[in-house]
Amino acid sequence: MCAAPAARRTPALVRALLLLALALAALAAGVAAQRRPPLRARFAPLGDVALIPRLLDAAPLLDHRDSASLLSRILVPRVPGTAASQRVADALLAPFEASSKSGGLGWHIERLPFVAQTPHGKQSMTNLVVTKNPASPRRLTLAAHYDSKIMPKGFIGATDSAAPCAILVDTAMALDRALDAAERRWAKEGSGGDVTLQIVFFDGEEAYEQWTHTDSIYGSKDLAQNWTRSAHSPPHAPLVGAATLSTSRFSMLRPARHIDTIEHLVLLDLLGAKSPQIPSYFHPTAWLHDKVRSAQRRLLDAKAFWPPNESSRSGEDWFNGHSWGGIEDDHLPFLAGGVPVLHLIPSPFPRVWHTMGDDASALDYGTDYGWAMIMRLFVAEYLGLGPDLAATAQPSVRDAAEQARRAQEAQREEQIRAGAAIDVEPQGPRPRDEL
Ligand SMILES: [Zn+2]
C-alpha cells in the first residue's frame, strides 16, 4: 500500500534530477564553447603573404655562409655542460634579451638547469624556455634541441638541430613587433590573446652511447615531467592586461597543469638540407600539417618563399602524405602527457644524419630561408596576427625607394622654407636652386 505513492514519486524525482543534470551540462558546454572558439575557426588566413619576407631580413640569423650570422655562430660542437654549449645558449637567447631593451614588451626567459643520469654519469644540462606572455592561459610551443652528439668527436649537427634552432629564433624575432602590437590590441579590445607564443630549446636530446629509451631526450623528459607535476601559475601579471587565466583544455574543475597549457607542440628536427619530405605523423594534427603545406604553397605563389636572389628557383612541395610510424624524439614525453604534436622532421632523414658530414656543407640557405617564411606565416595565422603584421612589416624595396624619394623631397621643401624664413646665409655651400 505504502509502496505505490513512493514508486510514483521516485521516477519523478529521478527525472527532475536528470533534467537538472542535463541543463547544467548544456550550460557548462555553452560556457566552454563561448570561452574558447574551436581552433580551426580561430585560424585566420593572411591576405597578403608577400609581406612575410619583409618582416625581418632573415640573412643575419640564417645565412650560414656569413660567419657573423647566428646560425654560423652556433655551428660548433654543443655537448651538454660544456662552455661551448653555454655560449650557444647565450647566442640563442641574446635576440630575446635585446627585444625588451629596444622598447618592445620583451620575452619571459627561463634557463632551467637539471642533472641527468647518463651512461657517462651525472651530467649538467639546461633547457631554455622563452614565452611572449607567460600569463597567457595557453601556448603554441615551438621546439628544437640545441645540444649536439658527443660522438663522433667534433660532430656539429648542422641539421641536427642547429638550423631548426636558428629558424625558431627567426620566427620569434620576425613576429616580435606584431606579437607586441597584438598584445596591446587584445588589451584594448578586452578579448583575444589567450594563446601566446613559446619557444623551447631542449638540451640533452642526443644519446651518450646507443639511443635507448633511457639514454636519449634528457631535456624533454625533464621539462615534461616538471610541467606535469606543476600547476600553471603565471610568474607575473599579464604583459598589458589582456589575458586572464582560464581553464586547461581538459577540465574546468581543477587547476591547469603546466603541460596542459600547451595547445600544440611543434617540434622541428633534422632540417636545413635541400628538398625535405615531411609527412604528417599524427592524425589529430593532420589538419595543422595541411596548414603548413598551404603556407608553403601560398608563399611560392606569391614569390615570397625563396631568398630574393633565388627567386627563379622552381617550386617544391615538402609536405606530402602521412607516416603514422614512431620516430623517437623530444615530442614523446609531451605526447604521453596528452599534448597534440606536429612533428616537422623529414622522412627519410637527411643523408648526412649522425655523420661528420652534418656540418655547414649540408645546409642550403634557400631551404633555411623557405623554412623561416613557412614558420612565420604559420604562426602568424595560428595566432591571428593579421591585423598587426601589415603595420610592422618592413617596406619592400620599391616601397623603400618611394619612401626615400618622399623623404628627400620633404627635406628639400623644409630647406627651401628655412632658407626663406631666415636672413642669415646658412653655413657651407648650398646650391642656388635651393635658396
Ligand atoms: Zn641527432
Same domain, 247 and 370: yes
Q: How confident is the model at residue 252 (pLDDT cuts 50, 70, 90)?
A: very low
| Catalytic position from the list 170, 176, 205, 263 | 205
pLDDT, tens digit, for every residue of 163-207?
999 999 999 999 999 999 999 888 888 777 789 999 999 999 999
Q: What is the predicted pLDDT for the residue at 8?
A: 45
Taking only the tens place, the pLDDT of each residue in 21-72 is 666 655 554 444 444 556 777 788 999 999 999 999 999 999 999 999 999 9
Give me the mean pLDDT over the 360-372 stretch: 98
Is 10 part of any domain? no
Whether the pLDDT of residue 273 is over 80: the answer is: yes
Mean pLDDT for all residues in the chain:
84
Task: Report if residue 30 sits inside a domain.
Answer: no
Residue of 176, 203, 269, 381 marked catalytic: 269
- Among 181-185, 201-205, 220-224, 275-279, the minimum mean pLDDT is found in 181-185
- Mean pLDDT over 226-253 rounds to 52
Question: Catalytic annotation on 423?
Answer: no
Query: Residue range 388-398: average pLDDT?
Result: 73
Ligand 1 centroid–CA 242 distance in Å is: 40
Mean pLDDT across 137-160: 96
Are 409 and 386 in a shared domain? no
Which H or E element spans position 387?
A: helix 386-392
Distance, CA 181 to ligand 1 centroid (Å)?
37
Q: Are residues 206 and 341 in the same domain?
A: yes
Same domain, 323 and 404: no
- In the reported structure, the alpha carbon of residue 218 is separated from the centroid of ligand 1 by a whole-number distance in angstroms of 13
**Same domain? 280 vs 426:** no
CATH of the domain at 240: 3.40.630.10
pTM above 0.85, yes or no: no
Give pLDDT, residue 248: 36
Q: Any bridge partners for residue 257, and if so which?
A: 231
The tally of domains found in the chain comes to 2
Confidence of residue 404 (pLDDT cuts 50, 70, 90): low
- pLDDT on residue 246: 37
Cα of 161 vs centre of ligand 1, distance in Å, is 7
What is the structure's pLDDT at 369?
A: 98
Q: Is 18 a domain residue? A: no
Residues 374-392 have a mean pLDDT of: 93
> Would residue 100 count as lying in a domain?
yes
Q: What spacing in Å lies between the alpha carbon of 404 and ligand 1's midpoint?
A: 47
- With a pLDDT cut of 70, the percent of the chain lying above it is 78
Q: In the predicted model, what is the mean pLDDT of residues 240-266?
A: 60
Whether 139 and 206 map to the same domain: the answer is: yes
Looking at the structure, tell me whether residues 382 and 410 fall in a common domain. no
Q: Which residues pair with 202 in a beta bridge?
A: 145
338: alpha, beta or left? (left if phi > 0; alpha if psi -120 to 50) = left
In a domain, 12, yes or no: no
Q: Which domain holds residue 430?
A: 399-434
Find the range with the poorest average confidence among 135-144, 224-233, 338-347: 224-233
Mean pLDDT score, 201-219: 96
The residues, any chain, with a CB within 8 Å of residue 62's CB and separated by 6 or more, are: 69, 70, 71, 163, 166, 167, 170, 365, 368, 369, 372
284: in domain: yes
pLDDT of residue 407: 65
Q: Which cell numbers in the block locate residue 373?
A: 617564411
Q: 174 and 201, same structural domain?
A: yes
Q: What is the pLDDT, as a whole number, of residue 142? A: 98
Could you tell me if 231 and 328 lie in one domain? yes
What pLDDT band is residue 403 in, cutting at 50, 70 and 90?
Answer: low
> String of b and e for 346-373 (b: at least 16 CB within 10 Å)?
beebbebbbeeebbbebbbbbbbbbbbb
- In this predicted model, what pLDDT tens digit does every residue of 92-122 receive, in sequence order? 999 999 998 888 899 999 999 999 999 999 9
Q: Count of CB atoms within 10 A of residue 326's CB?
A: 8
Residues 410 and 330 in one domain: no
Q: Reduced to 3 states, what is the DSSP secondary structure of residue 350?
A: coil
Domain for residue 151, yes or no? yes
* 131/169 same-domain check: yes
72 and 111 fall within a common domain: yes
Q: Is 205 assigned a catalytic role?
A: yes
